[in-house]
Amino acid sequence: MNPAAPVHLLVISGSSRTGSLNLALAREACRIAEVQGATARLLDLRALDLPLYDGDIEAGPGVPAQAGELIAAIAAADAVLLVTPEYNGFPPPLVINAFDWMSRARASGTQPAGLKATAGKPAGLLSASPGPLGGLRSMNYLRQYLQMAFAMIVHPRQFALSRADQAFDATGELKDEKAREAVTGVVVSLLQLGAALAAPRGE
Ligand SMILES: Cc1cc2nc3c(=O)[nH]c(=O)nc-3n(C[C@H](O)[C@H](O)[C@H](O)COP(=O)(O)O)c2cc1C
| HSE-CB of 75 using CA atoms within 13 angstroms | 16
In testing the pocket of ligand 1, which one of 12, 87, 141 has its CB within 8 Å of the most ligand atoms? 87
Q: How far is CA 129 from CA 13, 71, 102, 134, in A?
A: 13, 27, 26, 4
Specify if 1 maps to a domain.
no
Is 88 domain-assigned? yes
pLDDT score for 200? 64
- What's the confidence (pLDDT) of residue 96? 98
Q: Is 141 in the pocket of ligand 1 (CB under 6 A)?
A: no
CA dist 182 and 161 (Å) reads 9
Whether 85 and 127 have beta carbons less than 8 Å apart is answered as yes
Alpha-carbon dihedral angle through residues 87, 140, 101, 14, given to the nearest 10 degrees: 50
Ligand 1 centroid distance, CA of 12 (Å): 17
Whether residue 155 contacts residue 186, with contact meaning beta carbons closer than 8 Å, is answered with: yes
Give the mean pLDDT of the chain.
96
Indicate if the pLDDT at residue 202 is higher than 50. Answer: no
The answer to whether 128 touches 161, Cβ cutoff 8 Å, is yes
Q: In the chain, pLDDT over 70 holds for what percent of residues?
A: 96
Q: Can you tell me which atom of ligand 1 is nearest the CA of 25? A: 26
The arithmetic mean of pLDDT across residues 142-165, rounded, is 98
Q: How many residues would you count in the chain?
A: 203
Residue 187 sits at φ, ψ, to 5 deg, of -65, -45
Residue range(s) defining the domain that contains residue 17: 8-197
CATH number, position 158: 3.40.50.360
How high is the pLDDT of residue 57?
Answer: 98
Q: What is the mean pLDDT of residues 55-70?
A: 98
130 Cα nearest atom in ligand 1: 17
With a pLDDT cut of 90, the percent of the chain lying above it is 95
What total of structural domains would you count in the chain?
1
Tell me, yes or no, whether 2 lies in a domain. Answer: no
Residue pLDDT, tens place only, 87-142: 999 999 999 999 999 999 999 999 999 999 999 999 999 999 999 999 999 999 99
129 CB within 6 A, ligand 1: yes
Q: Is residue 31 part of a domain?
A: yes
- Residue 8 neighbours by CB distance under 10 Å: 19
Q: Is residue 25 pLDDT above 60, yes or no?
A: yes
Residue 78 lies in a domain: yes
Per-residue model confidence (pLDDT) at position 5: 86
Q: Which of 11, 16, 88 to mutate to test the pocket of ligand 1 (most atoms within 8 A of CB)?
A: 88
Give which of 7, 99, 89, 88 is closest to 45, Cα–Cα.
99
Confirm whether 3 is domain-assigned: no
Q: What is the predicted pLDDT for the residue at 13?
A: 98
Give 55's contacts (C-beta < 8 A, 6+ positions apart).
Answer: none
Alpha-carbon distance of 8 to 198, in angstroms, equals 10
In a domain, 203, yes or no: no
Mean pLDDT to the nearest integer, 37-64: 98
Position 202 in a domain: no
